[in-house]
Amino acid sequence: MKHFIALFALALSLTTLHARKAEEVTPVLIGSDTPQATLFDESGAEHSLPALLKDKHSIIVFYRGGWCPYCSLQMQELAERESEFLGLGYQIIGISPDAPEKIATIEKDGELNYAVYSDSGYSAMEGFGIDFHPKGKKDRKLPVPSVFIVTPNNQIAFSYVNPNYRERIPGDLLVAAAKSLKKD
Band (2; pLDDT cuts 50, 70, 90): low
3-state secondary structure 104-137: HHHHHHCCCCCEEEECCCCHHHHHHCCEECCCCC
3-state secondary structure 68-83: CHHHHHHHHHHHHHHH
Tell me the percentage of the chain whose pLDDT exceeds 70.
85
Q: How far is CA 32 from CA 148, 153, 158, 163, in A?
A: 11, 11, 10, 21
Helix (H) or strand (E) holding 47: strand 46-48
Q: What is the CATH number of the domain that holds 57?
A: 3.40.30.10
- DSSP per-residue letters across 156-175: EEEEEE-S-TT----HHHHH
pLDDT at res. 182: 86
Express the helix, strand and coil content of the chain in percent, nearest 5 each: 40, 20, 40
Query: 178 and 149 in contact (C-beta within 8 Å)?
Result: yes
Band (133; pLDDT cuts 50, 70, 90): very high
Does residue 129 carry a pLDDT above 60? yes
Residue 37 sits at φ, ψ, to 5 deg, of -160, 150
Query: Each residue of 57-112: pLDDT tens digit?
Result: 999 999 999 899 999 899 999 999 999 999 999 999 999 999 998 887 765 555 67
pLDDT at res. 112: 74
What range defines the domain where residue 22 resides? 2-183
DSSP state of 23: G
Does residue 27 carry a pLDDT above 80? yes
Structurally, the chain folds into a number of domains equal to 1
- Could you tell me the maximum CA-CA distance found in the chain, to the nearest angstrom? 63
pLDDT at res. 152: 96
Top mean pLDDT of 68-72, 114-118, 146-150 is at 146-150
pTM (2 d.p.): 0.86
State mean pLDDT over 47-62.
Answer: 96
**Number of Cβ within a 10 Å radius of residue 13:** 9
Compare 59 and 15 and report the one with higher pLDDT.
Answer: 59
Query: 133 and 22 in contact (C-beta within 8 Å)?
Result: no
State mean pLDDT over 5-11.
Answer: 44
